[in-house]
Amino acid sequence: MAQTRHPMTGNEMSYYAEGGTERHRYDVVVVGAGGAGLRAAIAAHEAGAETAIVCKSLLGKAHTVMAEGGIAAAMGNRWPEDNWQVHFRDTMRGGKMLNHWRMAQLHAQEAPERVLELEDWGALFDRTEDGLISQRDFGGHRYARLAHVGDRTGLEMIRTLQQRAVQLGIDVFMECTVTEVLKQDDRVAGAFGYWRETGRFVIIEAPAVVLATGGIGKSFKVTSNSWEYTGDGHALALRAGASLINMEFVQFHPTGMVWPPSVKGLLVTESVRGDGGILRNSEGKRFMFDYIPDYFRSETADSEEEADRWYEDKKNNRRPPELLPRDEVARAINSEIKAGRGSPHGGIYLDIASRRDADYIRKRLPSMYHQFKELADVDITAEPMEIGPTCHYVMGGVEVDPDTQQSAVPGLYAAGEVSGGMHGSNRLGGNSLSDLLVFGKRSGEAAAAYAASVPRPSVVEADVRAAQAGALAPFELAAAAGAAENPYTIQQDLQQAMNDLVGIIRTGVELEQSLVALERLKERAGSMAVEGHRQYNPGWHLALDLHNMLLVSECIARAALARQESRGGHTRDDFPGPDPEWGAKNLVLTLDASGDGVEIAEKPLPVMPDDLRELFED
């Protein structure tokens, strides 16, 4: 039976107390308990490794739950013509060919098997008339290929994987935050962190660490991401000596709630558009026909009549423009709002009420129906929703080997949103959940094999003392005269700067301003002070998170300034189109010599084999 670890309590929990650090030993430590982390832990355990999961929040509280629409996999249940080659091509084209071809290939080939495996473990999918797993349409996919459970697919995935992990007896450290990856010489030796409830420090010795920490959304003012998404894994990898790739590409999901203010940014699933919803401006115009890019014009309907026919005969008609890739739809919505054709609360309208009957909507989109009814007092079966773009996903992450997900640091792996390369410049909807399954499994297996093949490293005690001192620094500053910076104020200023200067539309001048602003924020963060003690202290937690947020935000801004073109999730107003020269290289970021900033370098794309390149010739 799995053990859920809890922090020890007692007088020693005071910030002033010394010692009392917990120590544990495992073969593989997985940081993060979303889809990627759970799948990695299951794979590592089944490969024979003593495995632990460490999660910042509660088990099951993961962004995977918000991936509502489905799992992209070319199973051919709706369209027998679908296969992994078509899925591979769609993924590469959606990412504007900046994807690592090998990751996209493995993903497309292995996704169907991972979905069936999930079903074997108890996941309950919607079914076709023939009893097969049902598959729905999503933006950028040639065929309906998203295996789904209503609009609660991510929740069903987490439920299934969590139950599997518990059945296998994998240890879980809940509400425990990792602040450093420990190394011996050049390879991983474990992880250092603290219990959020008590502040007690934890050292977990292990030769392999898998990062599965998700994204960076809390660096932005309007985001679908929850409080945990502060770029921890990205920053941990950088500080450990790994590199990040594609960090300029941030996905702004086209449809997030805009009203009421308390839920601004909350995700509105792409399933609404996949099941027939359309976008209208304040004048009632279905405006997406005005924004079809040449790249997709041959397969996108250019009239309402043609778009509507597609839902009746998907094989022979072109797709509605509402189902263009997310970056294209988000830019179109942003343009309409800026042109003054937005809704009263600063968004535009998403209308499914006029397209589908009420029973269909409640059956296919139960979560969306209840979300709007309960949070905004809007009945989506009778009236349109107000929506707008929201920071949702980062395509960039740790540069990894495609087959094993190992970073440049021996023993350090990354899977899911924290890893880079799979999605190129833009992720297609539904590819996140299949990405988690495919590369979660691969990273867990590789980490277990590595741990079994190397001598067990030893944690360097000087590094432990340095990690402890870094974690306690905000308390030391509180005791010093003149240290008055509040972490909440710094976070608010960071989010505003990223929103205004590094948002959905960028310019060179504004990106330069953002780097100046980030340097000032870093200086202020050096004077952050928190009051009280280490027992559950949210201000202290945020102070530690902010160092990660500032580092990762600098990576995004520097890469965005360097890439002088518009491609996927990166749009430069001063360089409005894609540049073939930039389409042949990635930007790679590493920590600079000071340890407080980042360096950037260009790297050519890996060469795609001829047999795969032939898939794009027509």
Question: Tell me, what DSSP letter sits at residue 609?
Answer: P
State yes or no: cis peptide before 260, omega within 30 of 0: yes
Q: How many other CB atoms are found less than 10 A from the CB of residue 1?
A: 7
Helix residue ranges per DSSP H, 62-176: 84-94, 101-120, 153-168
Q: Which two tokens stand for residue 395?
A: 């395509």
Active site residue 356: no
- Which listed residue (63, 93, 253, 563) is catalytic? 253
Q: What is the Cα–Cα distance from 448 to 411, expressed in whole angstroms?
A: 10
Q: What residues contact residue 57 under an 8 Å CB cut-off, 6+ apart?
A: 174, 175, 228
Q: Is 134 left (phi over 0), alpha (psi -120 to 50) or beta?
A: beta
In order of 141, 613, 614, the CA distances from 617 in angstroms are 18, 7, 5
8 Å CB contact between 222 and 450: no
Residue by residue, DSSP assigns 291-302 as G--GGGGGGB--
In order of 484, 528, 544, the CA distances from 488 in angstroms are 12, 10, 12
Q: Is 441 left (phi over 0), alpha (psi -120 to 50) or beta?
A: alpha
Amino acid at 392: H
8 Å CB contact between 405 and 443: yes
Q: What is the Cα–Cα distance from 232 to 551, expressed in whole angstroms?
A: 10
* Residue 476 three-state SS: helix
Tokens 């729905």 sit on residue: 136
- Containing 414, the helix (H) or strand (E) segment is strand 412-414
Active site residue 87: no
Q: What is the Cα–Cα distance from 164 to 170, expressed in whole angstroms?
A: 9
Tokens 């894994």 sit on residue: 233
* 4-5 β-sheet, strand order: 4-5, 171-173, 51-54, 28-31, 208-211, 412-414
Q: What is the Cα–Cα distance from 321 to 286, expressed in whole angstroms?
A: 10
Tokens 């100046």 sit on residue: 516
* Residue 456 three-state SS: coil
| Overall residue count recorded for the chain in this entry | 618
Question: Tell me, what DSSP letter sits at residue 133?
Answer: B
Q: Which two tokens stand for residue 200?
A: 């007690």
Helix, strand counts (H, E) of the chain = 16, 22
- Which listed residue (152, 273, 356, 534) is catalytic? 273
Q: Which two tokens stand for residue 546?
A: 């902010």
Which of 606, 618, 570 is closest to 105 using CA atoms?
606
- Max distance between CA atoms of the chain, in angstroms, equals 72
Active-site residues: which are they? 253, 273
